[in-house]
Amino acid sequence: MTDYHVRDTILQLLVRIEQDSGFSHLLIDQEIKAQNISSNDQALLTEIVYGTIQRQLTLDYYLKPFIHSRKKLQLWVRMLLRMSVYQMQFLDKVPDHAVIHEAVEIAKRRGHKGIVSFVNGVLRSVQRQGVPDIDAIQDAAERLAVETSHPIWLVRNWLDVYGYDLTRDMCRANLERKPLSIRVQPLKITRDRAMDELYKLGFSTRKSNFSDQGIIVDEGNIIHTWLFQEGYVTIQDQSSMLVTEMLNAEPGLDVLDACSAPGGKATHTAEKMQDDGTVAAYDLQAKKAKQVRQKAAQLDLTIINAQAGDARKLQEQYKKERFDRILVDAPCTGFGVIRGKPDIKYHKEERDSERLAEIQLAILEEVAPLLKPDGLLLYSTCTVGEKENNDVITNFLATSTNFVVDKRFFEQLPAEIRQSPGCTENGLQLFPQTFSTDGFFITRLKRKA
């Protein structure tokens, strides 16, 4: 496939991602597989698609002075301008005149003469006059929102809770690439041996401090290696590994994973239990429960029983005090995983956090009576913000007076994590910039004896 066609594919992908409201990572993967794209072109495609989405609001700010038409631009024209300005401003690979030439050729194939001359005119003006200066924006929140391409309501929200420096660092970190982190299946291979094997295959790796099963891969994709394909390692962010580490699952216990798909933490839990005991895993839909079963099979784990079910109705299935450990890795807005799924920023609204907080609390209240006295209830989300994290825990503890935040949770955290800025009495808020992980909220509640 030529470079020329890659940009057509990039444009089509950007349009589809916008129309389908997200799932950029899934659509990119599908397209790469469907079109048999060369690895060089894959890298370019991924870079431009992710970069254009990641910088969308900055690009619109750059383009605004050059678009005088009162008519709404067709979606594909808007996307073509964005991806072109992205390449002109943020990539050195292709000279501006070549970017403009390619954009005009694409416009010729897709639109009428008027559109071709509009695209040409806008991009040539950007090239001649340069883009507007973001530093000229007076309001600090707006400036940060435009510089880092986050919706202003989200930036203001974070500023209220975390202050300027933390928010700025988080917004900037959300534009950066995250290192790949993988987890070894310890019943099949040791971490040291897996690192040796990866080294032989040309990968440079480091040990994670978050889990004794975690490895950080500095560069390269491991999905074609035998280690991944034969279930010796799986891809999982370090923050997700920390969740399961803090569950303290042991062999022989009965564990409930109330929101389990696609099965990252359920399988990690089974590994911690040396595949001995039971893990009852639920997720809303049958196809999601199937994902969990597939992941367990891939890693040769047998104790996970994954089924479709609403975590808000589990008292219909189980007697009280049935489980030793319960994990609620709740559905959430996902603002901690913006780096991997940048379109999340634009498709969520403030009221989504409120709606999800109600669901999160309902799940916690439903499963709490299923925990044995002295049992541990782990609550986590991959989002950053008060409503779905601290507030949910405060609200839960206000009515569930037989639960407390387990102080030993904090003692058990590695020291550098315990001392990180997001540790409060209700739990740990991990920010993406602190350890280059996903943003996560993690806490452990204990049922009083």
Ligand X SMILES: C[S@@+](CC[C@H](N)C(=O)[O-])C[C@H]1O[C@@H](n2cnc3c(N)ncnc32)[C@H](O)[C@@H]1O
Query: Active-site residue numbers?
Result: 382
Is residue 342 classed exposed, middle or buried when 0-12, 13-18 and 19+ CB atoms within 10 A define those classes?
buried
Spell out the residues 6+ positions from residue 130 whose beta carbon is closer than 8 angstroms to its own: none
Spell out the residues 6+ positions from residue 348 whose beta carbon is closer than 8 angstroms to its own: 333, 334, 335
Window 418 to 447, contacts with ligand X (CB under 6 A): none
Q: How far is the CB of 44 from ligand X (least distance, A)?
A: 30
Q: How far is the CB of 337 from ligand X (least distance, A)?
A: 9
286 token code pair: 């049958």
What are the distances in angstroms from CA 404 to CA 188, 272, 298? 37, 24, 37
Figure out which of the listed residues 145, 182, 253, 259 binds ligand X, where binding follows CB under 6 A: 259
Q: Provide the token pair at 409.
A: 């949770």
| Alpha-carbon span 65 to 53, nearest angstrom | 20
- CA–CA distance from 338 to each of 60, 68, 431 (Å)? 19, 32, 11
Copy the structure tokens of residue 159.
Answer: 């500023």
Footprint (CB under 6 A) of ligand X, residues 350-409: 382
Phi, psi of 181 (to 5 degrees): -125, 135
Q: Residue 95, annotated ligand binder?
A: no
Task: Tell me: is residue 169 an annotated ligand-binding position.
Answer: no
395: exposed, middle or buried (Cβ count in 10 Å: 0-12, 13-18, 19+): middle
Residue 126 or 382 having the CB closest to ligand X:
382
Return the range that interacts with ligand X (CB under 6 A); candidates 125-133, 227-235, 309-317, 370-378. Answer: 309-317
Compute CA distances 210 → 141, 161, 246, whole Å.
33, 26, 10
Q: Give, rounded to a whole angstrom, the gap between the first and last alpha carbons of the chain.
A: 65
Binding-site string for ligand X from residue 236 to residue 255, where x marks contact by CB under 6 A and - marks none: ----x---------------
**Least separation in angstroms between CB 310 and ligand X:** 5
CA distance 365 to 410: 23
Q: How far is the CB of 385 from ligand X (least distance, A)?
A: 15
The three-state secondary structure class of 376 is: strand
Q: Does 263 bind ligand X (CB under 6 A)?
A: yes
- Contact of 357 with 391, CB cutoff 8 Å: yes
In the complex with ligand X, which residue's Cβ is closer, 80 or 311?
Answer: 311
Compute the least distance from the CB of residue 256 to ligand X, in Å.
11
Q: Is 260 labelled a binding residue?
A: yes
- SS3 label, residue 213: coil
Is 289 annotated among the ligand-binding residues? Answer: no
Residue 406 marked ligand-binding:
no
Window of 36-44, 64-72, 305-313, 422-430 that interacts with ligand X by CB under 6 A? 305-313
Q: Which of residues 56-95 bind ligand X (CB under 6 A)?
A: none
Contact between residue 315 and residue 370 where contact means Cβ atoms under 8 Å apart:
yes
User: Does the annotation flag 240 for ligand binding?
Assistant: no
Question: Residue 261, annotated ligand binder?
Answer: yes
Q: Which is nearer to ligand X, 243 or 445 (CB)?
A: 243
Q: 171 or 259: whose CB is closer to ligand X?
A: 259
Closer to ligand X by Cβ: residue 48 or 445: 445
Q: What residues between 277 and 296 interact with ligand X by CB under 6 A?
A: 282-284, 288
Q: How far is the CB of 298 from ligand X (least distance, A)?
A: 13
Q: Which of 22, 231, 331, 432 lies at the binding interface for ligand X (CB under 6 A)?
A: 331
Is residue 264 part of the contact set for ligand X (CB under 6 A)? yes
Binding residues: 259-265, 283, 310, 329
Residues lying near ligand X in the complex (CB under 6 A): 240, 258-265, 282-284, 288, 310-312, 329, 331, 382
Binding residues for S-adenosyl-L-methionine: 259-265, 283, 310, 329
